[in-house]
Structures are given as structure tokens and as C-alpha cells.
Amino acid sequence: MKHGNRIVITGASSGIGAATAIAFARQGCRLVLGARGREGLEDIAAQCRAAGGQAQIGIVDVTDAAAVARFAAGAREALGGIDLWFSDVGIGVVGKYLDVPIADHHRVIEANLVSHMNDAHAVLPIFQQQGHGIWVNMISLGGFITSPYAAAYAASKFGLRGFSAALRGELRDWPDIHVCDVYPTFVDTPAIYHAGNYTGARLTFPPGALTPEKVADAVVKLARRPRDTTVLGAPESALRLGELANPVAASLMNRFMDHWSRKAAPARPTTGTMYAPPEGPSGIRSGQRRGHQGSNTVLVLGAALAAAALGVRLARGEG
């Protein structure tokens, strides 16, 4: 590691956060893991210790700024400092904007955007006192490509991208403090079972979803060589083109989601784990068969890339 091996991860009890904790543990790192659910944290902490690392847990609701500040202070005391903080908390609710209760939209913004702001507000003063540190901000493809049927999620991810950019501007005089954004495409995690769902259809992953371990490896690399932007699962240039073609991408995605919600297996409305942690450990992956074929996918990367391709054609005067 560039500066050390003292790692803090919020959202560490399942999925990408859990996989990243174990990946750091294999490097012999010392970790403090935070999340709402004790059972999930204890499960991942035990796996970290088995992998060769040291791990402590802290129960924390990252939407509570005061609780995050206490968690950060405790982590600093336990580790003797913090070299890298990975903000990985994220939830979603799927459904047309007006079909989803406004309270659920608020909850997504609190969990995905405000919680990361709380994390940064708690850890950046520690980094400044140390003179170094790496804050890793988990965003997603949704920070570039608009997602109909996930309006609050899109708002939170676009917001996270702007937040990171603003922080980098403010920290320009601190060359050893880094803000690193990570933008994966679809990742096979238990988050698919944790999401709120008002589509009337059962949620599944599209073919070719990334493994959590692939994202975890990218985060571990940032501890050695920080960089502003890491894109996983698609060329960064394609995302930029998709961003330029966003109106077309949004229209295509909306049409696809309308079709999908009519054809997929039915499901009752649920708030998922937006308001309470899951019962028991969730693990790292969803357990769905990878490479699943069929029409019942949550989102389709192909729609975004098709929009990007259309943008290229229009730029070339081919449209």
C-alpha cells in the first residue's frame, strides 16, 4: 500500500463492500467494517480474519451524520489512523417515478448521496490531519447514463459524480489526499433482493454482470495507485458518448422497461431493505445464475450503448 493498510468500509456487510473487505484482508490489512446489520458484518469480519487480515465491526446508519462521525472517530482510534475509506452504501427502488412513494425516493437519496457526503465529512478532516488519505466513492454506470424506472437512483448517482468533482477542486492543495470514483456496470450482488420494487415484475440481472470480486480488485489497486475515475465493465469513452446521447438513451431505456415490466415474472411491491437491514448474512453474490437469458432484466447495458452508438452516427452525420 502507498501509505499503509488501515482500511474503513461502509456498506461492508454484503456485495461489493464485503468482497472488497476480504480482498484487503488477503493483503494483510487491518479493517473497520460498518453497516446496519450485525449478523452480516460479523459474517464478513470472520471471513476477513480467515483470509489473513484483522477486522473489527461497527454498527452504523450512514444516513445519520453524527453516528458516522462517531464511527469514524472510533475507527481512527482502533487503527491509529485511516489510509483508505471506501463509501459503498447504496440502495435502489425500481418503478415509474409516480408509482413509487415519495418517502422511498427520499430514502434512496439519503442512502446513496447524503450518506457518502456524511462519510466524506467525517473522514476528510482525519486525512488532512494525517496529510494523506484516499476516499473511494462507489458510484455506478448510473452516474453517466440516465435510468428511467430509477429516477431517485439516477439523481443520487449523478449527484455523487458532481460531489466528487467539487471535492477534488477543494483539495487541490492536498496532493496526497485523493478522491477516487468507481463506476461499474451491473454487478451480481444481493442488492437485487434488497431493492424496493414497484414494477410488478421480478428483478433479475442482465447477462454479463460483473462479479463483486472484480470491483473489489479495482478498489484494492486504488490503494496503491489512486486515480480520479475507474470504469469497469464498459469503455469510459462509451459512457461519455452515452452521456452526450442521454435523451435518446433515456427514451430507449424507458421503452425497454415498459416492455420488460409487462413480460417478466410478476412480483408484489416491496420496500426491500431500504428501511431496515436484511435478516441474517446476505453474502457477496446474488446466487442468480450468471449468463441468464430472457427478457426479465432490471436494466440493459445494450440500450445505453446503442444510444452511444447512435450518438456517434449523429456526430458523423449518419443519422
Query: How many angstroms separate the Cα of 204 from the Cα of each of 136, 148, 217, 253, 291?
Result: 27, 17, 24, 16, 11
CB atoms within 10 A of CB 2: 14
Q: What's the pLDDT score for residue 79?
A: 98
The segment with the largest mean pLDDT, out of 214-218, 234-238, 241-245, is 214-218
**Higher confidence at residue 40 or residue 235?**
40
Q: What's the pLDDT score for residue 239?
A: 56
Does residue 225 contact residue 292 with C-beta atoms inside 8 Å?
no
Confidence at 247, pLDDT banded by 50, 70, 90: low
pLDDT exceeds cutoff 90 at 274: no
Length of the chain: 319
Q: What's the pLDDT score for residue 309?
A: 39
pLDDT exceeds cutoff 60 at 262: yes
pLDDT exceeds cutoff 50 at 295: no
In this prediction, what percent of the chain has a pLDDT beyond 90?
58
Q: What's the pLDDT score for residue 253?
A: 58
Domains of the chain, earliest start first: 6-315 (3.40.50.720)
**Higher confidence at residue 82 or residue 198?**
82
- Exposed e or buried b per residue across 230-267, where buried means at least 16 C-beta atoms within 10 angstroms of its C-beta: bbbbbeeebbebbbbbbebbbebbbebbeebbeebeee
What pTM did the predictor assign? 0.81
3-state DSSP helix/strand/coil % of the chain, to nearest 5: 50, 15, 35
153 catalytically annotated: yes
Q: What's the pLDDT score for residue 317?
A: 40
| Residue ranges with strand state E in the chain | 6-10, 30-35, 54-59, 84-87, 93-94, 133-138, 177-184, 196-197, 229-232
**Average pLDDT of the chain, as a whole number:** 82
Does residue 196 contact residue 111 with C-beta atoms inside 8 Å?
no
CA separation for the pair 178, 224 (Å, rounded): 12
Q: What's the pLDDT score for residue 204?
A: 73
Catalytic residue (one of 149, 153, 183, 198) = 153
